[in-house]
Amino acid sequence: MNREFPTQADVVIVGSGPAGAAYARILSEQSPDANVVMFEVGPLLADPPGIHVKNLPGDARARAQRLSEGPAPRDGASTDTMKGYADASQRLVRPGTFLLPDGYRMPGEDGLPGAAMSSNVGGMGAHWTGACPRPGGKERVDFIDDLDELLSEGERLLGVDDRVFEGAPYSAQVRERLAELLDSERPANRHVAPMPLAVRRQQDGGLVWSGSDVVFGEPTRSNPRFTLIPEALVARVRHEHGQVTGVIVRDQRDCTEHTVDAPVVVVAADALRTPQILWASNVRPHALGRWLNDQPQSVYAVRLRDVESHADVDHDSTEIVPESGVNWVPYTDDDPFHGQVMQLDASPVKLASDDAPKPGTIVGLGWFCAKDLQESDRVEFDDAQLDGYGMPAMRIHYRLTDDDHSMIQRSRQAMMRAAAALGEPLDDRDPLTFAPGASLHYQGTVRMGQVDDGTSVCGPTSEVWGVAGLFVAGNGVIPTAIACNPTLTSVALAVHGARSIAANITSTKG
């Protein structure tokens, strides 16, 4: 049977990831009388909408991952969230994501062979690691005066906690060893610390990971004027004379098209599909798709030295368990990379059969670099060829500069120095640097700017230059070369945009 689509709304939100969910939450709290409709191209995975797949049991998790994998889901039922951690494959495939089938590398360029997306209610927020560090130094968007307050609000919406593993014995030892090595070289506010995580611990000790369901919260779920419609592709944003007028939506179930009138549209697809929708809508400012930013990522693993086994843990598991934890080596301007040190209860590399480690003692290190931002790094769109959703096909132009290669080497050296302070290498292999795109932290393609000078797509509140009522959201809005995990920053910027919409609705109706 055909579904009923609304014909009008006060606000349309395109995409249900953490940034889109933040718009829905703030509008539900601050403009409860506004009719808000959210369209998501992917399916509903489970109840509540936007739940993280780690919170689902094995069979349900595998099903949710397959449903998230776009137009052509893979066969198989892997729920291994560490799958590929030490895989040197150029085209690393993670459960719950799908790769670009082509166009990911142009001749003579590095490209983004690891570029991947998810299509599901909750977006990548149903599959992410939950790491929510705050940006520092040049990572920060310096023209947002109240950024710290916005980051705090983002932490509230995401349910961030930096103490969830504070009782983990190995985690504390890891942090102490890293602090002894590094803290004297760092500003006081960038010392080694527990990683802030979007996760909460239940009374029984179990972990509940935040997805968009946590960001939506009860204020959104109980809002009678909020509607979420899954399996609905927003093909175009409608606009006339510099003003948004609504969207054209294609029902993915029966391929019918529907027109929805709205004076405000928020496109929060992701850093690749948000510019795609604008391009298809003939909203094409010079900076659209440009300044594409990935984070070069290297990983390594060691066995902790001089530690005792604290519990009988199944070390063949890939879950983070109470013996484990996640620690953080923050970015600084002098060391423009970000370290994530995670204790793994299964080795990310194959161990000899007679060399099984004490449970919880294999430590994985991951270092992310800030990119040397270039306007020429971009995603373009081919109107003559369509992707699996019938949208203009993507073409990635992306190069690592000499400065990038130098920074990758510096970050690998910094990671090895940290590793040596923690323990012994598992074998004689060097650190692995993933192929571009593997970070899944793409940014910059609809970047924010202080003024409309051709180097940005939107202003400080995320409203697109020259198209009143059109907002963009997600990691693509971030204009700086950040090395830290970007979700908290993108949610904070979404809060800023949502507040401006709510204030305008209040003043208009007042």
**CA–CA separation, 359 and 314 (whole Å):** 7
Q: Which of 296-310, 347-361, 373-387 has the highest mean pLDDT?
A: 373-387
Domain ranges of the chain: 11-68+88-509
Q: Which pLDDT does position 251 carry in this prediction?
A: 97
Q: Which pLDDT does position 52 carry in this prediction?
A: 97
- Which candidate in 258, 338, 441, 496 is catalytic? 441
Do β-strands 226-229 and 36-39 pair in parallel, antiparallel, or remain unpaired?
parallel
Instruction: Pick the closest to residue 426 from 368, 355, 366 (CA basis).
Output: 355
Query: Does the pLDDT at position 249 exceed 80?
Result: yes
**CA–CA separation, 342 and 360 (whole Å):** 10
Could you tell me the CA-to-CA distances from 174 to 40, 61, 91, 169, 267 in Å, in that order?
41, 31, 32, 9, 41
Query: Does the pLDDT at position 78 exceed 70?
Result: no
pLDDT above 70 covers a percentage of the chain that reads: 90
Q: Domain 11-68+88-509: which topology?
A: FAD/NAD(P)-binding domain (3.50.50)
Q: Enter the tokens of residue 93.
A: 């495939």
Mean pLDDT value across the chain:
91
Section 115-139 average pLDDT:
96
Query: Does the pLDDT at position 348 exceed 80?
Result: no
Contacts of 365 (CB under 8 A, 6+ apart): 299, 300, 301, 302, 339, 340, 341, 342, 415, 418, 419, 422
**Residue 272 burial (10 A CB sphere; 0-12, 13-18, 19+):** buried
Q: Which pLDDT does position 152 carry in this prediction?
A: 98
Q: Which pLDDT does position 346 carry in this prediction?
A: 44
- Residue 207 DSSP symbol: E
**CA–CA separation, 359 and 313 (whole Å):** 6
More confident residue, 315 or 359: 359
Q: What is the pLDDT of residues 453-491, one digit of tens each?
A: 999 999 999 999 999 999 999 999 999 999 999 999 999
Confidence of residue 72 (pLDDT cuts 50, 70, 90): confident
Query: Does the pLDDT at position 204 exceed 90?
Result: no
What is the distance between the terminal CA atoms of the chain, rounded to a whole angstrom?
40
**CA–CA separation, 436 and 421 (whole Å):** 28
Q: What is the pLDDT of residues 34-65, one digit of tens each?
A: 999 999 999 999 999 999 999 999 899 999 99
Answer whether 101's CB lies under 8 Å from 20's CB: no
Q: Which pLDDT does position 205 carry in this prediction?
A: 78
Q: Which pLDDT does position 342 carry in this prediction?
A: 84
For helices 487-509 and 147-158, the axis angle rounded to 10 degrees is 100
Q: What is the pLDDT of residues 309-330, one digit of tens each?
A: 655 544 444 444 445 578 999 9
Catalytic residue check, 191: no
The dihedrals phi and psi of 434, each to the nearest 5 degrees, come to: -70, 155
Section 250-274 average pLDDT:
97
Answer whether 98's CB lies under 8 Å from 72's CB: yes
